[in-house]
């Protein structure tokens, strides 16, 4: 049934290519060509995509800084019977991109919301990373400030599911260093750049190795980071205080000993260090 045959307004959430223009599905092309209006993150980028497929439809901007103002307007259009296709610059709307606010408002207004699935960098990265995919957690972009970023990563140190992050290339080196410190330098990870594009690249290794690599080599654009989940370290938790004391008895500093235990167990170096400080203070032992 064509969209013109429908009487009620519908919000279509349309996934668009993240790089390769051939990834736009036939259904997505049809929906975009028949929609009354297209809500897009950047009208210029969306216009180029539509022009490449000879599609000309009215567009309305819908991005992070005008979501609150635009949402009631778009919902009103939907209630009046318009069919609107929501797209972002790349990938699936509402996944670390604008869209959630509008989808929720449309649902609350009793409007039908329909997915037009397609490319998602999260799923694309998982499919080729070579890291377990049976369970995963998508964390999106980490906080930019070092303190908040480190605290958030610490909260994930014992998460058993595979973790997926987005990051800007210019911050990749410092982010990987923070991950190595919080999650363990030996933790397996994969960096995926330019997914679906000509120079697509998957770089696998430990967080420590990857952090060193990208500390010296800048990355361009946005990347997806896939990190293996934490192993069951209950046995290591029981053994680590003894091992830590053994290292200290040999003259290794507490900071160095914590780093060694982190590499051996996959636990967070910071957590091991802070736990040791608390324990040693309670036992009136020197902390360094």
| pLDDT above 80: residue 4 | no
Q: Which domain holds residue 168?
A: 122-227
Q: Please check whether residues 185 and 148 belong to one and the same domain.
A: yes
Higher pLDDT, residue 103 or 233: 103
Average pLDDT (55-59) is 96
| pLDDT above 60: residue 234 | no
pLDDT per position as a tens digit, 125-182: 999 999 999 999 999 999 999 999 999 999 999 999 999 999 999 999 999 999 999 9
Q: Please check whether residues 19 and 71 belong to one and the same domain.
A: yes
| Arithmetic mean of pLDDT over the chain | 89
Q: Please check whether residues 130 and 35 belong to one and the same domain.
A: no
| Domain end (from 119, 140, 168) | 119
Q: Please check whether residues 203 and 146 belong to one and the same domain.
A: yes
Structural domain includes residue 288: no
Q: What percent of the chain has pLDDT over 90?
A: 71
61-63-66-70 Cα dihedral, nearest 10 degrees: 50
Q: Please check whether residues 15 and 51 belong to one and the same domain.
A: yes
Average pLDDT (98-118) is 95
Q: Which of 212, 215, 188 is nearest to 202 (CA)?
A: 188
Average pLDDT (94-113) is 94
Average pLDDT (268-287) is 78
CB 48 within 8 A of CB 56: no
Q: What is the pLDDT of residue 30?
A: 97
| pLDDT above 90: residue 248 | no
Sorting pLDDT into bands at 50, 70 and 90, what band is 247?
Answer: confident
Q: Please check whether residues 113 and 137 belong to one and the same domain.
A: no
Q: Please check whether residues 93 and 157 belong to one and the same domain.
A: no
Sorting pLDDT into bands at 50, 70 and 90, what band is 269?
Answer: confident
Q: Please check whether residues 108 and 126 belong to one and the same domain.
A: no
| Domain end (from 58, 86, 119) | 119
Average pLDDT (184-196) is 94
Q: Please check whether residues 39 and 109 belong to one and the same domain.
A: yes
Q: Please check whether residues 49 and 76 belong to one and the same domain.
A: yes
| pLDDT above 80: residue 14 | yes
Structural domain includes residue 21: yes
For residue 97, give the CATH number of its domain. Answer: 3.40.1010.10
| pLDDT above 90: residue 262 | no
Least confident residue range of 47-51, 104-108, 280-284: 280-284
For residue 166, give the CATH number of its domain. Answer: 3.30.950.10
pTM for the structure as a whole: 0.76
Q: Please check whether residues 204 and 243 belong to one and the same domain.
A: no
Specify the number of domains making up the chain.
Answer: 3
Least confident residue range of 30-39, 127-136, 241-250: 241-250
């Amino acid at each position: 049934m064509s969209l013109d045959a429908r009487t009620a307004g519908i919000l279509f959430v349309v996934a668009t290519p993240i790089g390769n223009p051939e990834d736009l599905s036939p259904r997505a092309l049809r929906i975009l060509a028949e929609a009354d209006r297209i809500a897009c993150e950047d009208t210029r980028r969306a216009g180029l995509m539509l022009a490449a497929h000879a599609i000309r439809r009215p567009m309305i901007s819908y991005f992070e800084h005008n979501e609150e103002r635009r949402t009631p307007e778009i919902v009103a259009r939907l209630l009046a019977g318009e069919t609107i296709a929501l797209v972002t610059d790349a990938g699936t709307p509402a996944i670390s991109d604008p869209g959630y606010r509008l989808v929720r408002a449309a649902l609350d207004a009793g409007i039908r919301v329909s997915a037009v699935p397609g490319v998602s960098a999260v799923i694309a990265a998982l499919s080729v990373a070579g890291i377990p995919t049976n369970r995963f957690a998508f964390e999106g972009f980490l906080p930019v400030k070092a303190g908040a970023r480190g605290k958030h990563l610490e909260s994930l140190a014992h998460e058993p599911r595979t973790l997926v992050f987005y990051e800007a290339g210019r911050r990749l080196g410092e982010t990987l260093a923070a991950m190595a410190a919080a999650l363990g330098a030996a933790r397996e990870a994969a960096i995926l750049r330019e997914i679906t594009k000509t120079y697509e690249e998957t770089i696998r290794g430990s967080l420590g190795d990857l952090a060193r690599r990208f500390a010296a080599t800048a990355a361009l654009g946005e990347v997806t980071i896939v990190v293996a989940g934490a192993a069951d370290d209950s046995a290591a938790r029981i053994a680590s205080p003894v091992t830590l004391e053994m290292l200290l008895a040999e003259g290794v500093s507490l900071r160095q000993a914590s780093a060694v235990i982190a590499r051996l167990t996959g636990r967070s170096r910071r957590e091991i260090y802070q736990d040791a400080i608390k324990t040693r203070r309670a036992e009136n032992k020197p902390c360094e």
